[in-house]
Amino acid sequence: MKDLLFVKNIHLPIFSTQKSDSMSDEEWGFEHERVCDFIRHFVDEPIRNLISHETHARTMWQTLTSLYASKSGSNKLYLLKNFVELKYKDGTPFTEHLSEFQGRRDQFSAAGINFDNDVLGLFLLITLADSWETFRVSMISVALNGVVLLQMAKTSALNEEMRRKVQDTSSQSEVLY
């Protein structure tokens, strides 16, 4: 989210301690509300309800940081539970799943938890649906010493998704003839 705020050039109400001299108080207030509205579009409904009344961007950011980037034991437990429960849904683009996976990984990093690359590779394999069991087993089988690095798991899973799409397309073509 932080990167997106910078890319959109709407980060100042959160990360600047004071408005620029060229901006009126009214414009500064409007900018805060604009950033708050922008952020609300990216949070789940239960969290949105917690911040729906907020019109000051820095206060909203601090609330979200305390919820998502807290280094408390309960937050770490919540993040881990959320990470372990992530499951790829067959038929959805795998890139969406990777994005969700990366987002949850980033939340861990923000909370001060980092996993080795090979553990992340295994985590990604665990998130795959049961229909990917043969793929999972083959990945583990070909990995040297059982080490499946995250990038290898990502690349292989994207290739597998492509293979499955081609196979489904050719199967549908055969049915037509």
Instruction: Report domain extents, the chain.
Output: 2-68, 73-176
Query: Which pLDDT score is estimated for 171?
Result: 63
Query: Which pLDDT score is estimated for 146?
Result: 82
In which band, very low, low, confident or very high, does the pLDDT at 116 lie, cut at 50, 70 and 90? very high
44 token code pair: 């789940």
Do residues 14 and 5 lie in contact, with contact meaning Cβ atoms separated by under 8 Å? yes
The sign of the dihedral angle between the CA atoms of 126, 132, 138, 139 is: negative
Query: Which pLDDT score is estimated for 71?
Result: 67
The mean per-residue pLDDT over the stretch 103-116 comes to: 86
Query: Which pLDDT score is estimated for 167?
Result: 86
Task: Inform me whether the pLDDT recorded for 1 exceeds 80.
Answer: no
How far is the C-alpha of 118 from the C-alpha of 115, rounded, in Å?
Answer: 8
Q: Is 70 helix (H, G, I), strand (E, B) or coil?
A: coil
Task: Inform me whether the pLDDT recorded for 74 exceeds 80.
Answer: no
140 token code pair: 């583990």
Query: Which pLDDT score is estimated for 70?
Result: 62
Give me the percent of the chain exceeding a pLDDT of 90. Answer: 36
Task: Inform me whether the pLDDT recorded for 158 exceeds 80.
Answer: yes
The mean per-residue pLDDT over the stretch 116-135 comes to: 95
Task: Inform me whether the pLDDT recorded for 177 exceeds 80.
Answer: no
pLDDT: which is higher, 170 or 48:
48
Query: Which pLDDT score is estimated for 11?
Result: 85
Cα 15–19–24 angle (5° rounding)? 145
The mean per-residue pLDDT over the stretch 134-151 comes to: 92
How far is the C-alpha of 175 from the C-alpha of 98, rounded, in Å?
Answer: 32
